[in-house]
Structure 1
Amino acid sequence: MRRFALTGLAGYIAPRHLKAIQEVGGLLVAGLDPATNVGVVDSFFPEAAFFTEPEAFEAYLEDLRERGEGVDYLAIASPNHLHYPQIRMALRLGAHALSEKPLVLWPEEVDRLAEWEARTGKRVYTVLQLRVHPALQALRERLAQERGMRDVVLTYVTGRGAWYGASWKADERKSGGLATNIGIHFFDLLAWFFGKAHRVEVHVRTPTVNAGYLELEGARVRWFLSIDPSFVPEPLRKAGKRTYRSIALDGEEVEFSEGFTDLHTEVYRKTLAGEGFGLAEAREAIRVAAEVRTLSPRDPSPEVRHPFLAR
């Protein structure tokens, strides 16, 4: 039985980690969160120790380690800016780290974690669940058999209420902004499909909209990210939808709206089997998101402008 600890136990994504740990036959030993609304853990691991202070949490896990009862993995589901120090905590404790996206906020932090891996002999993994989505895996196999540059239009609108502006997610220093907090999975998906980006443009960067253009080894991509539900197409809005996800490949819509239920569990299974997504897989999306965060926006030419920018 693999032994786990989990940070961010009170967060939105924590139940997916608890379910995954249970379904892979693991045991949650301890959890950490400054908030105490963590009753969800009773449905999974009611005996797990709980801490609101990271110092006490780390000391408890260190004591367990000294008794030969340490954790094998520290799962990290805390706010984005805490991932880097908590990954280092995991490695100090002699545990592997399995972090939510984004793994870290800056490419330089990826490099430093590679040094920590070499020093400790432990691995750093991340949750890139779109890479285990069956429809997307099939699409990648299809693309690998085809040649030439592809034209891609990527659109992701996920409506957020007024609370978002008051949360850590709206603080770019903590979340990395929309490109990182909302877009990191899609930048990773593009890199997984089409290789590295050698041209990055930012056309709009506001608190609610990021848009731009990427030229990758195998694709030209016009992309648009937003938390403003008014960008959801009108027929979907009238049906009460606040989310719109679209990837058009050479004008052909790619459908992958279903099949998300058990992706965290599959990521856990792959990680425990030694096939998880590590620093090398995470690096390119982190680099692109950091460029989007720091580049000056420019007016787009018509051929690289996302269709939604006309609105």
Structure 2
Amino acid sequence: MKNFALIGAAGYIAPRHLKAIKETGNQLIAAVDPYDGVGIMDSYFPNADFFVEFERFDRHIEKLKRANTPLDFVSVCSPNYLHDSHIRFGLRSGADVICEKPIVLNPWNIDALQEIEEESKNKIYTILQLRHHPSIIALKKKVEEGGPDKIYDIDLTYLTSRGHWYYTSWKGDISKSGGIATNIGVHFYDMLSWVFGPVQSNTVHVHTHDRAAGYLEFKQARVRWFLSINYDTIPQAIKDKGMRTYRSITMDGEEIEFSGGFTDLHTLSYESILKGEGYGIGDTRQAIDIVHNIRNTKAVGLVGDYHPLCKLEQAKHPFDRD
């Protein structure tokens, strides 16, 4: 049984980590979050120590270390811009680290962390859950069997509604979240990289407060992508079902079914990590390069091969006042 600490226990993704720690037969001994609404911990680890101040959490971890209570893993679920710092904390504490995506916001952060990882003799792992999804594994196999010279045409659409709270939170601050492409798209770019190989070109067509779209060319794929957090972009047929999320990937016009099967992917990721087979920080590099370039590239507008939803009318920022 391994001992875990969790940074960011009140976050949206934290319950999946709590579930994964529990289901892999391990224990959480300490957690921290500046927000104290963490009653979810009662369902998993009611006896774990909890802190709202990082300094007290830090002191507690140090006390455990000096009392010869081992800390094996630190799981990081904090806001994106804090990942770098919290990974460093985990390594300094003598633990391996499991960090949510995006592992960092900039490619050079990977270089610096890899140096510290080497010095520490501990490992940095990340959650690349789509690489564990049965439909994506099957897709990768299909592409491999199709031969190295075949190039596929992909349309990726991910529409996941967010309310006005989003823009007040750290997620609405591009300096903290990296923007829409980073915050909700990074795992898709990783999946595309994993299946279709090195990226060849990266064009941004639209990039506003509530949507981003562009064209990516990989060794074996031409990808038109569109991401949005605006409910109005969701097809009416999906709205009529009472749903607020729409996810679609087509390859050469054929839909790839992967709407389900997401609930256990974090547990599968943890199982792989605990066997020493998990994905390390180096595996994230191409996806981080892609989102960094999207964030720092001027949108060219509706020119070239763009996703059809780019034609949707642009929306005002909800905080704009006439």
Match of 1:272 in 2: 274
Match of 1:154 in 2: 156
Tell me if structure 2 keeps the 8 A contact 1:211–1:224: yes
Instruction: Quote the offset at 1:73 in angstroms.
Output: 0.4
| Distance across 2 between alignment mates of 1:200 and 1:36 | 41
1:84-233 matches, within 5 Å, as 84-147=84-147, 148-233=150-235
| 3-state DSSP of counterpart to 1:10 | coil
Instruction: Quote the offset at 1:144 in angstroms.
Output: 0.9
| Distance across 2 between alignment mates of 1:299 and 1:209 | 13
- Which 5+ residue runs of structure 2 have no aligned equivalent? 313-322
The letter for the 2-side match of 1:118 is E
Structure 1 runs, 4 residues or longer, greater than 3 Å off = none
Tell me if structure 1 keeps the 8 A contact 2:302–2:310: no
Tell me if structure 1 keeps the 8 A contact 2:172–2:179: yes
Instruction: Quote the offset at 1:100 in angstroms.
Output: 0.7
Match of 1:64 in 2: 64
| 3-state DSSP of counterpart to 1:214 | strand
Tell me if structure 1 keeps the 8 A contact 2:196–2:218: yes
Match of 2:319 in 1: none
Instruction: Quote the offset at 1:151 in angstroms.
Output: 0.8
Instruction: Quote the offset at 1:205 in angstroms.
Output: 0.6
| Distance across 2 between alignment mates of 1:104 and 1:221 | 24
- Matched length: 310
Match of 2:247 in 1: 245
Instruction: Quote the offset at 1:117 in angstroms.
Output: 1.0
Tell me if structure 2 keeps the 8 A contact 1:223–1:306: yes
Tell me if structure 1 keeps the 8 A contact 2:135–2:256: no
Tell me whether 51-60 or 270-279 shows the greater mean CA deviation: 51-60
Q: Deviations over 1:81-132 (max 9, x none)?
A: 1111000000000101101111111110011111011100111011111111
| Distance across 2 between alignment mates of 1:251 and 1:44 | 43
Match of 2:320 in 1: none
The letter for the 2-side match of 1:135 is S
Tell me if structure 1 keeps the 8 A contact 2:91–2:120: yes
The answer to whether the aligner puts 1:306 opposite 2:274 as a matched pair is no
TM-score relative to the length of structure 1: 0.98
Instruction: Quote the offset at 1:310 in angstroms.
Output: 2.4
CA RMSD of aligned residues (A): 1.0
Q: Deviations over 1:216-256 (max 9, x none)?
A: 11111111000011111111112212111111101111110
| 3-state DSSP of counterpart to 2:104 | coil
Instruction: Quote the offset at 1:70 in angstroms.
Output: 2.6
TM-score relative to the length of structure 2: 0.94
The letter for the 1-side match of 2:284 is A
The answer to whether the aligner puts 1:31 opposite 2:31 as a matched pair is yes
